Amino acid sequence: MKINKEINRRRTFGIVSHPDAGKTTLTEKLLLFGGAIQEAGAVKNNKIKKTATSDFMEIERQRGISVATSVLGFEYKTIKINILDTPGHKDFAEDTFRTLTAVDSVIVVIDVAKGVEEQTEKLVKVCRMRNIPIIVFINKMDREGKDAFELLDEIEQKLGLHVTPLSFPIGMGYDFKGIYNIWEKNVNLFTGDPKKDIEDTVQVNDLSTDEIDELIGTDSADTLREELELVQGVYPEFNIDEYKRGELQPVFFGSALNNFGVRELLDCFIEIAPPPRPKQSDIREIRPEEDKFTGFVFKIHANMDPRHRDRLAFVKVVSGKFERNKPYLHVRSNKNLKFSSPNAFFAERKEVVDEMFPGDIVGLHDTGTFKIGDTLTEGEILQYKGIPNFSPEHFRYINNADPMKSKQLNKGIEQLMDEGVAQLFTLELNNRKIIGTVGALQYEVIQYRLEHEYGAKCSYENINVHKACWIEPKDPKSEEFKEFKRVKAKFLAHDKSDQLVFLADSEFSLQMTQQKYPNIIFHFTSEF
């Protein structure tokens, strides 16, 4: 069957890391291997420079680049690879969380000198919650960094992973000689030449002979033998099923900048990383090889040109075949929609395509119909789960600064929230609107975009909120819940889907409230 063949040759994944660990560089080298780009430097760095966080041009530049790099598709050997962009900047963490619902596996990049950093911890936690298979790539081996064993320990402890190295470095920094590939049982010698390819790989069948001594010197060879013995003694043997269940994480070492250790990573990746996986909906699990198309929106991107307010919705194909001009049910609105120019994404361009398979990302032009999390089907009423909102970290009242433009303001706020730029809460008491965001930068983005795309002006006012919790009473009719609603009226609001939210003003008051109302569940994500 054609569909099975197409499914089996697809690998859709994300690269996650703390900013500066080398995600962009690694992405670029992977694209070079796929022949998708011709030279280094072709993938623009889409991170916001630290010095320019309040520069609007920088925000716009970022948005422009992030369209181009949202999905990078290319072929390597016979495999169709889709890399989904996951911004490392913490103010865009929510974007990354949502994108992680559309990947089938991830590669985590760690800087050998800095070790496990904050954003990596957060993102890996989300991957673990979903049992996403993870491969770890320890980058910048050409620099002095932490000892390999120390780093592996740190990864296990801070990230809660269960690792096993599939390659092992021979020295590091100034003394970096290369990598022993445990997976392929060969040595790759480091020359520091980014153009270097596979030619320098030397097959080493038996580490006990002096074949290896001749290659790297006796001292290094002895150290390597000892270290590999330790690896064997301490770490479990690689098991692909455990990896696919998210229980075991293979580790590779390399230097993305020098294009070193990247081919090994990629070759192993296409062999072990899972093709598109089944996905849970609210009624049943959907398998990719099912006849009928289903998919969901995980990202919406507004047009850069304010005169055309159409947007691009990114849909992950979960099952069946997506076809151009075929009507699909938009489940939330119960309407049939047809798409005459669905886009597929390649390294530096997008193209209109006739059909797409599970694992692929389709870009659909949208004039305001889609919301993040929406499901498309061939008629079945179902909703994909797994795109929850997390409590924002910043909260501010939003006020209308131009009374003549209140309609524009409301429309703008609604659409920006559908895009997932921030979360809107409406206070129960007086209907005032509160915008909650992950980073402070979003307030400037919202203000700027409301003005330039919707012609509306807003101002913000501080409000003391520590955390938003979604409220679920065990018994909505209980006296306890009624009392909670009365006593805490000032702190209650509704989110965009009208779920009740408690806006706690401090960690202390949150704990006190939880203790006082034991039959009310306080959820920290919107999906429960």
Binding residues for GTP: 17-24, 85-89, 139-142
- Examine residue 53 and tell whether it contacts ligand G4P (CB under 6 A): no
Tell me the helix, strand and coil percentages in the chain, rounded to 5.
30, 30, 40
- Examine residue 139 and tell whether it contacts ligand G4P (CB under 6 A): yes
Please say which residue, 20 or 213, places its beta carbon nearer to ligand G4P: 20
Please say which residue, 173 or 236, places its beta carbon nearer to ligand G4P: 173
Beta bridge partners of 367: none
Which secondary-structure segment (H or E) carries 523? Answer: strand 520-523
Single out the segment in contact with ligand G4P by CB under 6 A; choices: 21-29, 175-183, 411-419, 468-476: 21-29
Q: Do 465 and 456 contact (CB within 8 A), yes or no?
A: no
Q: How many Cβ atoms are within 10 Å of 503's Cβ, its own excluded?
A: 23
Give the span between the Cα atoms of 235 and 101, in whole angstroms: 30
Binding residue (CB under 6 A) for ligand G4P from 16, 21, 102, 458: 21
- Examine residue 47 and tell whether it contacts ligand G4P (CB under 6 A): yes
**N-term to C-term CA, the chain:** 38
Q: How many residues bind ligand G4P (CB under 6 A)?
A: 19
Shortest distance (Å) from residue 261 CB to ligand G4P: 9
- Examine residue 302 and tell whether it contacts ligand G4P (CB under 6 A): no
Shortest distance (Å) from residue 115 CB to ligand G4P: 14
Binding residue (CB under 6 A) for ligand G4P from 45, 220, 223, 383: 45
Q: Smallest Cα–Cα separation from 226: which of 143, 115, 144, 148?
A: 148
Contact set for ligand G4P, span 240-299 (CB under 6 A): 255-258
Please say which residue, 41 or 403, places its beta carbon nearer to ligand G4P: 41
Please say which residue, 21 or 421, places its beta carbon nearer to ligand G4P: 21
Please say which residue, 24 or 437, places its beta carbon nearer to ligand G4P: 24
Pairing relationship of beta strands 249-253 and 134-139 according to DSSP bridges: parallel
- Examine residue 24 and tell whether it contacts ligand G4P (CB under 6 A): yes
Give the span between the Cα atoms of 155 and 139, in whole angstroms: 14
Please say which residue, 143 or 523, places its beta carbon nearer to ligand G4P: 143
Mapped onto helix, strand or coil, the DSSP state of residue 77 is coil
Give the span between the Cα atoms of 364 and 86, in whole angstroms: 20
- Give residues with Cβ within 8 angstroms of 243, minimum separation 6: 133, 249, 250, 272
Give the span between the Cα atoms of 347 and 33, in whole angstroms: 12
Binding residue (CB under 6 A) for ligand G4P from 8, 20, 289, 385: 20
CA angle 482, 527, 398 (to 5 degrees): 75
- Examine residue 91 and tell whether it contacts ligand G4P (CB under 6 A): no
List the alpha helices (DSSP H) in 350-458. Answer: 406-419, 441-454
Binding residue (CB under 6 A) for ligand G4P from 12, 17, 281, 375: 17
- Examine residue 143 and tell whether it contacts ligand G4P (CB under 6 A): yes
Binding residue (CB under 6 A) for ligand G4P from 19, 115, 278, 455: 19
Binding residue (CB under 6 A) for ligand G4P from 6, 13, 16, 23: 23
Task: Give the annotated binding-site residues.
Answer: 17-24, 85-89, 139-142
Q: How many Cβ atoms are within 10 Å of 176's Cβ, its own excluded?
A: 23
Binding site for ligand G4P (CB under 6 A): 17, 19-25, 45, 47, 88, 139-140, 142-143, 255-258
